[in-house]
A and B are shown apart, each in its own frame.
Chain A
Amino acid sequence: MTVAIVVGLMVAGISLTLFNSQLASYRILKAQNFLISEAPQVNNTLNRIVSRANFFRMYAGMNDAISSENAVIENGKILALMFQGTDDNSQSFAVINFDEGNSRLDYYQVNSMAELAVASPSWNISNSIKDATFYVENGVLRIKLVGPNDEEIIYSSSTLR
C-alpha cells in the first residue's frame, strides 16, 4: 500500500514537474513571439512600403507631421513616405505612426499631410509594440522596434532612388 502511494506520488510529482516545465518553455517561446513572428511581419510590411516610396521624412510628433514642420533625422516617431504620381504633378503620402498610448503602429494613407488631423488609420501594422523609432544613419533609414518584453530589433531600409 505504502509502495503504491509512493509510486502514485512519484508519478504525480513527475507529471507535475513535466507539466510545469512544458508551461515554462511555452512561456519562454511565447515571450519570444514578438521577435520570431511579429517583428518580421512588421519589417516585411515596412520594408515593402518604404522601398517603393520616392522620399521619406520623419517627425517627432503628430502636430509637426500635420503641419509638415520640424522634420528630424533621429528619434522620429512618425514616418511620412511620399509617393510621386506618374504625371509628375500629384503626390500622396503613406504615414506610419507609433501610437504610444495604445502601443500600436498605425498606417495612414493621405493625399496631404494636413489630412492627418482628421484621418483615421487605414490599417494597423502591429498591436504588440512598446516603442518604434525611426532615424537615419549614413543615408540609410533605420527602424528600431521594441517588443512587449523590451526585445529590440533594428531594421534598415531605403527609399527608391
Chain B
Amino acid sequence: MKNYSSHHTARHKQGFASILTVTSVGIALLIVMISMYENTVESQKAEANHMLRGDYQQREEAFLRAMTNIIPNRAIIGMKDNSWQWSTRRNLSWKQIIDDAITQSNSEIAIDSDIASSLGVNTMRSGNIGDNDIYSMDVVSPGFSEQYWQHISSGANRTASSNYPPPLETTNYYERRDSRYPIISHLKAYGSSAEGWVHEDVNKYPQFNIINAPSMHFNYQAGDTLIAKHNWWVFKMNFADQDNNTTNLPSRTKYFLISLYEIPSQLPINGASFTALGAHSDGTEWSNIDIQGTVFGQKVVTEGSFTTDAIASRKGVTLSDNTIVGDLTTGITGNNPFASNARDLEQSKGKTFPISSASDGGRVSFIPINRGLEFYDRYTSNKESINSSNSVSPSSWDYYSIGAKRCAMRLDVIDVTAADNQTPTAIRFTYQKNGTTESQTFYKGDNWPNPDTALGELFPFHTQTTTDGRPAVSVHAERISNYLASQNAESTEINHSLSINVDYISNISIRPPAFPSLDDDISIVMLDAKDLSAYTRGFSLVTNMRLIIADDTNIVETATPDGITLPYEEKYYPPLSMFAPEKRFGSSNNPVPVQIEGQLGSVTKNNASPTRIADLKSGASGEVVPGNISATLKPISHPAALPPINMINWMVVIREIHPNLSNP
C-alpha cells in the first residue's frame, strides 16, 4: 500500500513537471502571439486612420472644387431681376451652395441604399466608420467668429491687414447680405480702408484697382499685379469632426478664402472662344503682328511661327512646331506643353511657366462674361438701369454683362424709310445731363440738320450710303464733345461711351441687324475720330451693326495720366474701345493697310472652328490681306488706361488660409 502510494506520488510529480513545462511554454508562445497580434492590430488601426484621413482630405478637396464652379453661377443668378423671390433666392444662399457642393462632390454616403440592396449588402454592418451624411452647417462655418449667425463670412468692411486681401466697402445691409449670398455689385468698392493696400488711389479707382495677383499655376496676368476688383469671403471647414464620436480621429479645422476677381480684359489678345494665333484664315502666317505680354483664349491653338510672352487659356493649349512662348520653344515644351516636364523644369528655376490652363487646376475657374452677340445690343432686354429690381444683388446682370447697356450715351435708329429700305429717317440721341438722362429725337426733313448746312457741319450724326451701297449712319466722333457742351450736358468725363442700336422693339419696319450682316442692313461709319483727346477718360463705342472705320482713328496723343510710366519715346493715346460684330477698315471698295496698336478681343461663342482674331477685314468684300495688316499688341497695366467699356472676366479661386507664422 505504501509502495503503491509512493509510486503513485512519483508518477504524479513527473506529470506535474510536464504540465508545468507545457504550460509555461504555452504561455510564452501566447505572449509572443498576443504581442504580434497587438502589433498587427495597431498597424491596421494606424493604416485605417491614414486611409480615413486621406478619404476626408479627398472629400474636402472634391467639395472645394465643386464650390469653385457653383459660386459664379449663383452670383450671376443673384444679379438677375426678381431673384429675391424665395423660390430663386433659396438656391442662391451660401448654405445651398455648400449643400450642392457636397452633393456634386459625392462626398456623402459611399453606396446609396438602393444600390446596396441590389448588391445584397444592405443588411450588413458597414466597416466604413466615416460613411455618413454630411450636414453643411456641421462641417462649414463662418471664418470670423463675430459673424457666427452667418453661413460664410463676408470680406467686405473688414479692417485691412496682411492676413487677408484688401477689403471692399459696402453698406452694413449689403455686408450682411454678402454673408448669406455671394454678392457681386458696383456697391462693393474699394474705399479708404483699402488705401495703401491696393496699388492706386482708391478715390480715383474704386472699382478696378491694381491689386496683387494670386500666385497660382494659372496666370492670366504677366507680372505680379492685376487690374481687378477682388471680392472675398472666409469660411472654416472640418469634414472629420462630425464623425469624431465614431472615428476618434483627431482633426484640424482649416480656414479657406473664396476669391472672386472681376477682371476687365487687359491682355493684348482676349479670345473668349476657341482662338487660333499665328496665321490668317488663308494660311498665311502673321508677319507684322508684334505681341507683348500674355494672350488669353478659351482654347488656344498656335499655327506657323508664333511668338508671345505667355499664353493663358481655359481649356488647353496646342502649340505649333514653331512657337516660342517666353524663352521656351516647342522643342522644349512639346505640342502639348502640359504633358512634358517643361513646366517643372521652369519652376525648378524659380520661373513662372508661361503657358497655363485654368482647366488644369481644380480650384480655379476662369469665366469670360460672354453674352455673344447680345453684348452689342441694348435692346436685348428692357433693362436700362445699373440697379437691379427685386434681386439678391443690387446690380443688374444685363447692365453688367451687356456692353451696349453700360454706355452713357445712346444713339437709336427709331425709324427707317420702309421695311425693305433700312435707310434711317429718325434717330434718338440720349445723353447724361444733370445726373439724369436726356433724349433728343431728330427726324429727316424736319429737325435733323442736313450735312451741308452750317448746323449740319457741327452735328455728329448723319446718314450716308457706303461705297458698296449699304445704308449707313455716320458718326463724327470728334463733334460729339462739342455738341454735348452746346446742350449743357455732362462733360466727356461722364458722357464717355456711345451705343448705337436700332429700335426694332417699338418699330416693326426696323429689322434687327443680322450676323453676318445683310447687304441692305444698316452700317455705322466712324468718321472724324483722329483726335479723341477731348475724352479724358477715353471713349467707347458699342454697336450691333457693321462698323466701318473709315479713317485714321485715335492718332493724336494726350497727356499721360498719373501713375503710368511709358517707355522712352512712347506716346499715350486716350483709351478707346470699339465693339461690333463686324468691323471693316477703310470706306473704299479696295482693301487698305490696317495698323493697330492696343488690344484685340473676341466674344464669339461655342465655335467649333477657331476664331482668327487678327483677320482684320477691309474693302467692300471684307478681304483679309495679310500683307496689309500690322499690329502692335500690348497689355493694359493701369486702370487709367482702361477704356470706359470693357469685357469682364471672373476668376474664382479657393485657397487655404495657412496659419501665419510671422504674425500668429
- Point out residues on A near B: beta carbons under 8 Å: 4, 7-8, 11-12, 15, 18-19, 22-23, 25-26, 29, 33, 36-37, 40-41, 43-44, 47-48, 51-52, 54-58, 68, 71-73, 83-92, 109, 111, 136-139, 160-161
Contacts and interface: CB of A to CB of B under 8 A. Distances in A.
A29 B349 CA distance: 44
Contact of A11 (B21, B33, B344, B361): B21
Nearest to A161: B361
A12 B21 contact: yes
B36 interface: yes
Contact of B165 (A51, A52, A87): A87
Contact of A7 (B18, B53, B343): B18
A73 B164 CA distance: 33
A74 B343 CA distance: 14
A36 B341 CA distance: 32
Contact of B661 (A18, A26, A109, A160): A109
B436 interface: no
B43 A37 contact: yes
B658 A85 contact: yes
A26 B341 CA distance: 44
B405 interface: no
Contact of B53 (A19, A44, A160): A44
A146 B35 CA distance: 26
Contact of B46 (A12, A37, A58, A111): A37
A37 B362 CA distance: 31
A85 B21 CA distance: 68
Contact of A73 (B33, B39, B344): B344
Interface centre among A44, A73, A86 (most CB of B within 10 A): A86
Pick the 6 closest A-B CB pairs, nearest first. A161-B361, A88-B212, A71-B348, A15-B25, A37-B43, A44-B50
Given A40-B46, A138-B341, A19 B25 contact: yes
Given A11-B22, A15-B25, A87-B212, A72 B348 contact: yes
Given A4-B14, A19-B25, A47-B54, A73 B341 contact: yes
A57 B57 contact: no
B36 A84 contact: no
Contacts of B50: 40-41, 43-44
Contacts of A58: 348
B61 A139 contact: no
B215 A84 contact: yes
Nearest to B338: A139
A88 B215 contact: yes
10 contacts: A8-B17, A22-B29, A29-B36, A33-B43, A37-B42, A41-B46, A87-B166, A92-B660, A139-B343, A161-B218
B546 interface: no
Given A29-B39, A88-B213, A161-B216, 9 more contacts: A37-B42, A52-B656, A52-B658, A71-B350, A85-B162, A86-B257, A86-B655, A87-B212, A161-B217
Contacts of A90: 162, 660, 662
B163 interface: yes
Contact of B341 (A8, A43, A88, A139): A139
Interface string B43-67: 1001100100110010001000000
B455 interface: no
B15 to A, nearest CB: 10
Contacts of A73: 341, 344-345, 348
Contact of A136 (B40, B257, B344, B350): B344
Nearest to A40: B50
A71 B344 CA distance: 10
Interface in B210-231: 211-218
Interface residues of B, number: 61
A43 B57 CA distance: 14
Contact of B43 (A36, A57, A92): A36
Given A26-B36, A73-B348, A85-B162, A44 B54 contact: yes
Contacts of A88: 165, 211-215
A27 B22 CA distance: 24
A56 B28 CA distance: 51
Interface in B624-664: 655-658, 660-662
Nearest to B359: A161
B18 A11 contact: yes
B129 interface: no
A89 to B, nearest CB: 5
B360 interface: yes
Contacts of B73: none
Nearest to B360: A161
B29 A111 contact: no
A86 B348 contact: no
A58 B347 CA distance: 10
Contacts of B40: 29
A138 B25 CA distance: 57
B363 interface: yes
Contacts of A92: 658, 660-662
B566 interface: no
Nearest to B214: A88
A25 B655 contact: no
B32 interface: yes
Contact of B362 (A15, A137, A161): A161
B660 A85 contact: yes
Nearest to B53: A44
B36 A87 contact: no
B428 to A, nearest CB: 47
Contacts of B655: 84, 86, 160
B348 A111 contact: no
Contact of B657 (A23, A43, A72, A86): A86
B261 to A, nearest CB: 10
Contacts of A47: 54
Nearest to A140: B344
A137 to B, nearest CB: 8
Contacts of B349: 71
